[in-house]
Structure 1
Amino acid sequence: MYGLPRRSRTLLMGLVLLIIGSTMYLKSDNWTAPPIQTYFPPSGIILDPSSLKFRAQAIREAYSHSWGGYMQYAFPTDELLPMSKRGGNSMSGWGASVIDGIGTAVLMELPEIVEEQLNFIAKIDYTKCEHQISMFETTIRYLGGMLSAYDLLSGPYAGMLQARKGEKNYELVQSLLKQSISLADALKWSFNTTSGIPMPFFKLHEKRIKSEDINIIAGFGTLVLEWTRLSDLTGDPQYANLAQRAQEYLLKVENPDVGEPFPGMLGTHVRLNDGKFVDSYGGWGALGDSYYEYLIKMYVYDPKRFRRYMRRWIESAESTMKYLASSPASRPDLIFVAEYSNSKSIGLHGSHLACFIGGNYLLGGQVLNEMRYNIFGLKLVEGCHATYAGSASGIGPERFGWDSSLVPTNQKEFYDKNGWYYGGEIDYRLRPEVIEGYYHAWVATRDNKYREWAWDAFVAINRTCRTEHGFTSISDVSREDGGRKDDKQESFWFAEVLKYLFLIFNEGGIQAREQIGFIPGKKQKWVFNTEAHPMRLYST
């Protein structure tokens, strides 16, 4: 959802982890490794830092480091604030890092951590919450995280806990589904608006319907996968019906003159009282992003039920290629996707958030067997990689632009070389979208350059964002050191960044045999939600 210039990876990784002073462990080989800069297996053969095994283990170690800091200073709050050594509650206070992190711990085969997480999840009381709840975030992080862990632990990873359990761990896995029902039942009253579009933010204890409010298209267009999966697992259609009813306002816009400036490309804000759009600005970035993402993913989930969603995705994909694709004047080899205020006002600026688009095109191209989408997707991945390669830190900024008439005077030389300039927000918030694009590009092509880009990104993040007790956002990617450490380890660091990185390098795991993610030429079995939680397809 991209890397710094290539260096000597052996030397760089050794120096990075030497400075950090981390120690790594090769669980799969049942031996304890000495510090990574003198990494010798018992056989006496040096494990090359460019090897897949080394890299997968480095990413697993980053997870363990982040989890250890969270458990020491932040559990059971939502996230670790590693600089101030305390916890924060920005996601309802139900322990977002636990639920967001469990799927990745399963894929990494860390049973002790998974058991710890399961024991906590089973005891959450979703009927009580002191904080304001985001329907969107709670769905993709909590509901998506629990449903995904249930699919994994009742499916291909069932044996991981069976060896350590008896009946207790079976019940813990079943509690994931029970708790998903409990959460959905606590949230579902928010759909009781005049239109059936849920309120975006609310407090559980108030249960006050505000149909005069508005919601964003990502806010209610990114519920359908999780709520449909819950219905399919339970046999209770009410959850799917609620989400799909709300989605109808986006599948067919009543007045395209306000709300659909290009075929399939929508405005942003929708009224709760009648489901009508109030504006025509938007794009693939914040506030709209995952609505477009879910159109093709619902078709992957069940092609029979969600064929309309696929057709709507094709409309948006075609409009994007026709009206919004843009190349910088200084770098015509690159392609970015513009944002818009309406059909006549195109803004040549983009965001890290929107960099998932390359991977989404690649998924669509593979599923629909449409080479044009694959080629365009790879070009978009390359464009977002340029934002990483051009930054001194090796990490791309939150916002960037490529309008030659708006280049700041002090960035003209930079723009001429790189094809983009810093667009005001120059921080990095542990976001996954660029690495998500690398993952899909690697899956689609098996070209090792995408693995190298992913490794370069990990090394840069490890160097600039790592702290004594976890990882944190940084303030200025234009500086080699990343600037100030901003004191927040986002829960999606566990769910997305580390998961995509691990899947890129862990070739021999269960996830490869189970096709977790899209594998060309293989029967698709799983689809990722927008938080990178893999869910089993309806037909498998």
Structure 2
Amino acid sequence: MRLHDILIGVLVSCTFSASSQSLPDVSGDNDIHAISRKRAQAVKEAFEFAWHGYHTFAFPNDELLPVNNSYSNSRNGWGATAVDALSTAILMESQDVVTTILEYIPTIDFNVSKGNAPVSLFETTIRYLGGMLSGVDLLDGPYQHLTQSPNDTIALTLQAVNLASKMEFAFDTPTGIPANNLDFKKESFDLSQSTGLAVAGSLDLEWTRLSDLVQVPDFANLTQDAEQYLLYPKYESNTIQPYPGLRGTNIDLSTGEFLDVMGGWGSGDDSYYEYLIKMFVYDPVNFSAYKDEWLKAIHSSASTEIFSHPYSRPDLTFLSNWDAQNAILRSSHLACFAGGNWILGGLVLGNQTLIDLGQNLTESCISTYNATLTGIGPEAWKWEDENLFEDEDEVVDMFIEDKGFNITDPSYDLRPEVLESLYYAYRATGDSKYQDLSWKAFRAINASCRTGSGFSAITNVNAPHGGSFTNFQESFMFAETFKYAWLIQAEDSKVHVGKMGEEQTWVFNTEGHPFKVRNQQ
């Protein structure tokens, strides 16, 4: 009997309690490869469970609300979960899921947006455009056997062109730096709103890949022209700027100037730095300037107080935020992608120091998982010298003394960044401890977040059972969280990040969707 038939049957009978479904403990097996295969299969089954909950109760809307088996449309109602899930379903060779999504995508009408929310250029690019382009590369590449017809990838390509063409007006600003919040009905935006570093700096990979696929340079030119304002930034005169390679966060659409000098490796900034090295991976000849700026950012981060160690846990290293050249000792789960990003740069450039630094960051981020009752890391935390906490509650002091940080936002939104960095660490080192850490983290996520017909974000990772459920299952869990938890165990996957000395044939966008690099076309 097929897995989805079993799942749907027990859902309908209302006798199934998802929260009680623990993943198998396979640590007793002496065959390390057998252990990895069993773990990969368990992650795949969790993915298919979440997919079938979504497909049963929410498809083709954007997200499943798993507690009450309802749905939401936070991404304009185009089926964000379905499009985001495609590349992971392909890698896992989950044929039924792939077929369902391929039949659905050609039916999306990007001219019609559900609700009154604007269209986010950034989110739409990384989720929808990225998901469709990745599907083309995978299904025209090593997973051709999953398609019913060559028309499947043609349809994906046409929809990608339709969507990008619909969003092109975002670049109609005095500078060419794109606006993010778009009114599709009026094809307009508010020019007075600034745009963010991550928004303007995280479009190149998707739009350049689209141009290469359809051999129309216009899409790539739009994003690469806008990128010049980020590679060669301008600030108000007499402003103390961030260290070389680092940036502020908000940019004026009319002048191209940065409006502040505050930044970090987390929300609002993260994927700008991520894409600098990934564009170099995509094409090291034409994007060497991106790599140079990335190296400056790494040097400035690693050689200053931004590379920070909590006073009570000097073995840990977190990347702090900054205000000009002053460190703000705060970090977040989102910033934990940096460990994997630095490791990727080390692999590509043959630089063991970068790999070592990335491992340090990755292992420090997993320490936030080990510190909580659920075994899941929090959304955000801070650290400081001991004087800051003199008047704090004694229990909090003990937590800081022992763990090295204080939780400032205890929620968990099904985020992938720690699993992502563990994957890169494993690819760089081959050390099975990273597989074990990833498996432990995923089991914790399954134990606390699996509920009803899927997985839900939780309110407090340091409370029994994760506090409460928010009743929201993010589409990126399908694109990233499941994918990285599976890939680290799935040695026989046809798509992987290359190890040291190997050619990089694939590069993952910030939503976890793999693209072919240029020299592999």
TM-score (norm 2): 0.92
Which residue, out of 84, 97, 112, partners 2:81? 97
The residue that corresponds to 2:190 in the other structure is: 210
Alpha-carbon deviation of 1:375?
Answer: 1.0
With over 3 angstroms needed to count, the CA separation of the structure-2 counterparts of 1:37 and 1:451, relative to structure 1, is closer
| Residues 60, 78 of structure 2: 8 Å contact kept | yes
The residue that corresponds to 1:272 in the other structure is: 253
Superposed CA offset, 1:255-304 (max 9, x none): 38648411010000000011111100011010000000000000000011
Q: 2 CA distance for matches of 1:395 and 1:97?
A: 23
With over 3 angstroms needed to count, the CA separation of the structure-2 counterparts of 1:71 and 1:50, relative to structure 1, is same
The residue that corresponds to 1:7 in the other structure is: none
The residue that corresponds to 2:13 in the other structure is: none
The residue that corresponds to 2:309 in the other structure is: 327
The residue that corresponds to 1:13 in the other structure is: none
Query: Does residue 281 of structure 2 align to residue 300 of structure 1?
Result: yes
The residue that corresponds to 2:337 in the other structure is: 356
Q: 1 CA distance for matches of 2:113 and 2:255?
A: 29
Which residue, out of 148, 151, 154, partners 2:140? 154
The residue that corresponds to 2:70 in the other structure is: 86
Letter in 2 for 1:401: K
Q: 2 CA distance for matches of 1:120 and 1:259?
A: 51
Which deviates more from structure 2 when the two are superposed, residues 247-256 or residues 476-485?
247-256
Q: 2 CA distance for matches of 1:18 and 1:89?
A: 26
SS at match of 1:501: helix
| Residues 47, 54 of structure 1: 8 Å contact kept | no
Structure 2: any 5+ residue segments left out of the alignment? 1-15
Query: Does residue 482 of structure 2 align to residue 522 of structure 1?
Result: no
| Residues 22, 446 of structure 2: 8 Å contact kept | no
| Residues 176, 222 of structure 2: 8 Å contact kept | yes
Which residue, out of 449, 463, 478, partners 1:465? 449
Q: 2 CA distance for matches of 1:141 and 1:258?
A: 36
Structural mapping, 1:279-294, within 5 Å: 279-294=260-275
The residue that corresponds to 1:141 in the other structure is: 127
SS at match of 2:401: helix
Q: 1 CA distance for matches of 2:150 and 2:20?
A: 38
Structure 1: any 5+ residue segments left out of the alignment? 1-16, 25-35, 39-44
The residue that corresponds to 1:422 in the other structure is: 407
Alpha-carbon deviation of 1:23?
Answer: 10
Structural mapping, 1:7-18, within 5 Å: none
The residue that corresponds to 1:375 in the other structure is: 356
Which residue, out of 165, 179, 184, partners 1:199? 179
With over 3 angstroms needed to count, the CA separation of the structure-2 counterparts of 1:106 and 1:195, relative to structure 1, is same
Alpha-carbon deviation of 1:415?
Answer: 1.1
Percent identity of paired positions between Structure 1 and Structure 2:
41
| Residues 258, 277 of structure 1: 8 Å contact kept | no
SS at match of 2:251: strand
Which residue, out of 311, 316, 324, partners 1:342? 324
Q: 2 CA distance for matches of 1:112 and 1:196?
A: 42
Q: 2 CA distance for matches of 1:461 and 1:22?
A: 12
Letter in 1 for 2:260: D
With over 3 angstroms needed to count, the CA separation of the structure-2 counterparts of 1:304 and 1:62, relative to structure 1, is same
Q: 2 CA distance for matches of 1:20 and 1:466?
A: 5
CA-based RMSD: 2.2
Alpha-carbon deviation of 1:170?
Answer: 1.9
Alpha-carbon deviation of 1:436?
Answer: 0.7
Alpha-carbon deviation of 1:91?
Answer: 1.0
The residue that corresponds to 1:255 in the other structure is: 235
Q: 1 CA distance for matches of 2:187 and 2:199?
A: 19
Q: How many residues align?
A: 496
Alpha-carbon deviation of 1:349?
Answer: 1.2
Superposed CA offset, 1:289-339 (max 9, x none): 000000000000001110000000001000000121010110111111111
